[in-house]
Amino acid sequence: MTSANEIAIAACDHERPLWRPDQLAETGLIRPDQIAALERVAARYAVAVTPAMAELIDHADPHDPIARQFIPDVAELETRPEESADPIGDRPHSPVEGVVHRYPDRVLLKIVQVCAVYCRFCFRRETVGHGKGALAGEALDAALSYIRRHREIWEVILTGGDPLMVSARRLREIVGSLAAIEHVKIIRLHTRLPVADPARISAGLVAAMQARGKAVYVVLHANHPRELTAAARAACARVVDAGIPMLGQSVLLRGVNDDPLVLGQLMRALVECRIKPYYLHHGDLAPGTAHLRTSIAHGRDLMRHLRGRYSGLCQPSYVLDIPGGFGKSPIGPEYLSPTATDGIYRIEDFNGDFHHYPQCDEAAPASGT
């Protein structure tokens, strides 16, 4: 029987990612004089850059947006007082290993703790990395038993780590176990793999995601339009053509996508791939990530720019995951406000012009009903 760690390690080895600062230096992604400092970062937080991502990095650009996402930075060693090792409160809402039950009708099932690439802003950066393994054996049985017992669970979200890092056989077994639970109607998989390692999205892996009688969704994490290469688009097409709808989630990141043109191009690229933008996450308060976070005010300005200038299909929900495990709340800009005149709203259009709209009361029931 394959051990949990073997499952994870085999998946990581597929693309032979660059894991160490000296490897990053050998390929020109960092300078040799940076190795010692970045080894301190790598000792604390996992590093992995797949060839697919490395090829996208412009070595001549010191501010390359792909490099900012994956190449370690000494700024990660600076932890601010407001930052937390568990910024969105997974631990208080984890009744059994591998399960996070934060919302009434859905749970996270963290089936693996490794990724093809490690984002420098990851909110689970304290718990993911090489050798962390996968949920297996008695732990997986206990997690599935919890889901079976709680009939209010309508949706199960496979996450980690990246759930597509397990083998197709393993994924098929887990999806099959969830599909056999009558009250689970929706299975969702959150992944970066179609952009990080497109070749891994094989016909066999896509088939393993499917569940007879259940609705399956795949949510792609992409933050910059350059990530959606021809190979990545083909990988996404293999998923969508198999009848699995795709949604997109992105993290708002300073120096990566905090520009209105870049953010708009990203949303359009997703829609062109038949991926509906779902969430734009405000950066979580994970340790050592302040250099990548923007202000909420800037995020709202960016959302205002998208509104009206880009198709409604390109509009994600701008959300903040409340620290402590209290869930996501929308924080997008407001367009409607009351006026000093009773019965009148003020509504702003996408050009910044204001108009009046009546506050219509609910109609009284017709007489005789």
* Rounded Cα gap, residues 69 and 196, in angstroms: 12
Of 12, 122, 273, 314, which residue is the catalytic one? 122
Of 22, 86, 90, 106, which residue is the catalytic one? 106
- 103 among known catalytic residues: yes
Neighbours of 19 (CB within 10 A): 17
Of 20, 22, 86, 103, which residue is the catalytic one? 103
- 141 among known catalytic residues: no
* Closest CA relative to residue 315, chosen from 344, 279, 340, 351: 279
Supply the DSSP symbol for 33. G
Of 124, 170, 192, 200, which residue is the catalytic one? 124
- 192 among known catalytic residues: no
Of 45, 273, 284, 310, which residue is the catalytic one? 284
Of 68, 110, 119, 226, which residue is the catalytic one? 119
- 61 among known catalytic residues: no
Of 328, 335, 345, 346, which residue is the catalytic one? 328
Cβ atoms of 266 and 222 closer than 8 Å: yes
- 124 among known catalytic residues: yes
Sheet strand arrangement including 99-103 = 99-103, 106-110, 155-159, 186-191, 215-221, 246-251, 275-281, 317-321, 328-330
Residue 272: phi, psi to the nearest 5? -60, -30
Supply the DSSP symbol for 121. T
- 106 among known catalytic residues: yes
Of 115, 236, 273, 314, which residue is the catalytic one? 115
Contacts of 189 by beta carbon, 8 Å cutoff, 6+ apart: 157, 158, 159, 163, 164, 209, 216, 217, 218, 219
**For the chain, how are helix, strand and coil distributed in percent, rounded to 5?**
35, 20, 45
Q: Following DSSP, what letter does each residue of 233-298 receive, concatenated?
A: HHHHHHHHHTT--EEEEEE--TTTT-SHHHHHHHHHHHHHTTEEEEEEEPPP--TT-GGG---HHH
- 122 among known catalytic residues: yes
> How would you classify the pairing of strands 317-321 and 328-330?
antiparallel
DSSP H or E segment with residue 99: strand 99-103
Of 73, 162, 258, 321, which residue is the catalytic one? 321
Of 102, 172, 192, 293, which residue is the catalytic one? 102
* Rounded Cα gap, residues 94 and 168, in angstroms: 26
* Rounded Cα gap, residues 232 and 308, in angstroms: 28
- 284 among known catalytic residues: yes
Cβ atoms of 69 and 266 closer than 8 Å: no
- 301 among known catalytic residues: no
- 149 among known catalytic residues: no
* Rounded Cα gap, residues 171 and 169, in angstroms: 6
Q: Which residues are catalytic?
A: 102-103, 106, 115, 119, 122, 124, 284, 321, 328
